[in-house]
């Protein structure tokens, strides 16, 4: 077992929230390793597959997207991508998928090891790429793939026929996973899991909402780290507690006038898209140098799965950034931009994420028109550092800064 974190009760009350959150992710991976060692089946799941099912059945699940992000952040992304490319996977393919193919095929990876899968849980509310990604790994390991298909939405709300279709798949997934788990689905446990999931989502949204204070009690980049819990352990009580503790810390910071952002807050921006994990420092540094804090990220609403009943749950899982219509996507973003009082937006044109970047040019136009803020884009990649140019990024940050300064002074600097 590569992970060293032991599965023991952590005295969470006394720990800073960020440590509590990190421990939860480590514990989730440690539990998966332990399950594997006991001979229990361990799954790999997309980040927005209804986690409530596996949690209710007591099945341990790992998250390749989280793993890929962690590997990339520890600078293993390029090595893993190149490994996958040598297997025949094109370098146009999502870098998370390439990292995952490499890992599933046995590439050495000390950055973030996790158990190899015994079953796959795929929900394409995040993209269609995951469908083929999970099929490939299912083929490699000759293991079952459980698929929940979320039709793309062209309207604000998921249509009734979508809800019926998703619900039927949800029920089907339960039956398939009961066989894998070797136990029956316990409705009472499910209710408890759903309650935890909702509590976690609310606490996450509450913590994110502290970005609205001026100055913000946090650097928005912190949220990129904390969101891992929303991916890997959102159905757990301790996750809700940790996010509540995080929110409480932010509350105290507001009272004390402190912040994890330790620089002047001259400007506030939304960072649009998945960050370039291999270049987090490179993303952060020019912003820090210019006194630009990130106070809005799309991951805030993206992981706020709040629901009161099964139909609402199906609708909640229909609302991922890459499965909602353009207008919903704009409304989410403009909502957090207004609430969190941003005066600029930095858009990441992410080579790894076609569905996300595919309507960003139109969104950019809407942001400018509706919000009157500066909007600048840069080219990058969530996990393959070869697709990111630091020089271009610095230039774009400088450009955005100039626009925001000009607007602040009452000018109309052209973009």
Partner 1 sequence: MSNIESMLAKFAEIAENPKKQLDKFVSEGKKVIGCYPYYVPEELVYATGMVPMGLWGRSGSPNKAKKYFAAFYCSLVQMNMEMALNGDLDKLSGVIHTTLCDTLRPASQNFRVGINNIPMIFIAHPQNRKPKYGIEYSMKIYTKVLNELEAIAGRKASDEGLHEAIRVYNENRQAKREFVKNAGKHPELISAVQRSAVLKSSYFMEKPEHTIMLKELNRLLAIEPVVEWKGAKVVTSGIICDNPALLKIFDEYQIAIAADDIAHESRSFRKDASENEEPIRALAMQFAEQDQDPILYDPEINSRPPHIVDLVKHSNAQGVVILMMTFCDPEEMEYPSLAKALKEEKIPVLKIAYDHQITDFSRARTSLQAFADVLDLRKI
- Residue ranges in contact with partner 1 by CB under 8 A: 87-90, 92-94, 97, 124, 127-129, 131-133, 135-136, 138-139, 145, 147-149, 151-154, 161-162, 164-165, 168-169, 172, 322-323, 325-326, 349, 351, 354-355, 357-362, 379
- Least Å distance, CB 165 to partner 1, is 4
Exposure b/e, 245-274, CB count within 10 A at least 16 = b:
bbbebbeebbeeeebbbeeeeebbbbbbbb
Give the separation between CA 186 and CA 290, rounded to whole angstroms: 53
- Least Å distance, CB 161 to partner 1, is 4
| Sheet of strand 119-123, all strands in order from the earlier edge strand to the far edge | 60-62, 42-45, 119-123, 145-148
3 state SS for 88-134 = CCCCCCCHHHHHHHHHHCCCCCCCCCCCCCCEEEEECCCCCHHHHHH
Q: How far apart are the first and last CA of the chain?
A: 52
C-beta of 8 vs 160, nearer to partner 1:
160
C-beta of 62 vs 145, nearer to partner 1:
145
Selection from 187, 125, 191, 127 nearest residue 158 by Cα:
125
- Least Å distance, CB 56 to partner 1, is 21
- Least Å distance, CB 127 to partner 1, is 5
How far does CA 54 lie from the centroid of its chain?
Answer: 19
Tally Cβ neighbours within 10 Å of residue 41.
Answer: 19
- Least Å distance, CB 95 to partner 1, is 12
| Sheet of strand 292-297, all strands in order from the earlier edge strand to the far edge | 292-297, 267-272, 344-350, 374-380
- Least Å distance, CB 86 to partner 1, is 10
- Least Å distance, CB 76 to partner 1, is 21
Give the separation between CA 189 and CA 84, rounded to whole angstroms: 40
């Amino acid at each position: 077992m590569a992970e060293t974190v032991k599965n023991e009760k952590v005295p969470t009350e006394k720990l800073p929230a960020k440590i509590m959150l990190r421990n939860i992710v480590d514990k989730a991976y440690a539990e998966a390793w332990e399950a594997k060692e006991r001979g229990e089946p361990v799954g790999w799941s997309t980040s927005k597959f209804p986690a409530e099912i596996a949690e209710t059945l007591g099945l341990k699940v790992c998250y390749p997207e989280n793993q890929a992000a962690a590997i990339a952040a520890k600078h293993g992304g390029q090595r893993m991508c190149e490994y996958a490319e040598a297997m025949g996977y094109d370098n146009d393919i999502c870098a998370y998928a390439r990292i995952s193919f490499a890992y599933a095929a046995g590439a050495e990876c000390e950055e973030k090891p996790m158990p190899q899968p015994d079953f796959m849980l795929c929900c394409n509310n995040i993209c269609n790429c995951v469908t083929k990604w999970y099929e490939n790994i299912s083929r490699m390991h000759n293991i079952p793939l459980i698929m929940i298909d979320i039709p793309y939405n062209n309207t604000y709300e998921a249509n009734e026929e979508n809800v019926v279709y998703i619900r039927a798949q949800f029920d089907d997934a339960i039956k398939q996973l009961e066989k894998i788990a070797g136990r029956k689905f316990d409705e009472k446990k499910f209710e408890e899991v759903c309650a935890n999931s909702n509590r976690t989502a609310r606490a996450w949204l509450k913590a994110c909402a502290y970005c609205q204070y001026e100055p913000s009690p946090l650097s928005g980049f912190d949220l990129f780290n904390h969101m891992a819990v929303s991916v890997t352990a959102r159905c757990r009580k301790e996750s809700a507690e940790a996010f509540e503790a995080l929110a409480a810390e932010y509350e105290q910071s507001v009272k004390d006038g402190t912040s994890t952002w330790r620089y002047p807050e001259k400007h506030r921006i939304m960072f649009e898209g998945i960050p370039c994990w291999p270049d987090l420092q490179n993303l952060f540094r020019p912003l820090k140098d210019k006194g630009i804090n990130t106070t809005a990220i799309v991951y805030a609403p993206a992981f706020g799965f709040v629901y009161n009943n099964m139909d609402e749950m199906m609708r909640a899982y229909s609302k991922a950034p890459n499965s909602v219509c353009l207008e919903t996507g704009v409304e989410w973003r403009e909502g957090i931009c207004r609430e969190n009082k941003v005066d600029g937006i930095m858009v990441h044109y992410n080579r790894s994420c076609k569905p996300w970047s595919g309507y960003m040019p139109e969104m950019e136009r809407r942001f400018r028109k509706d919000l009157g803020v500066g909007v600048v884009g840069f080219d990058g990649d969530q996990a393959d550092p070869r697709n990111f140019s630091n020089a271009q990024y610095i230039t774009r940050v400088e450009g955005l800064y100039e626009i925001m300064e000009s607007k602040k002074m009452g000018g109309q600097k052209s973009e």
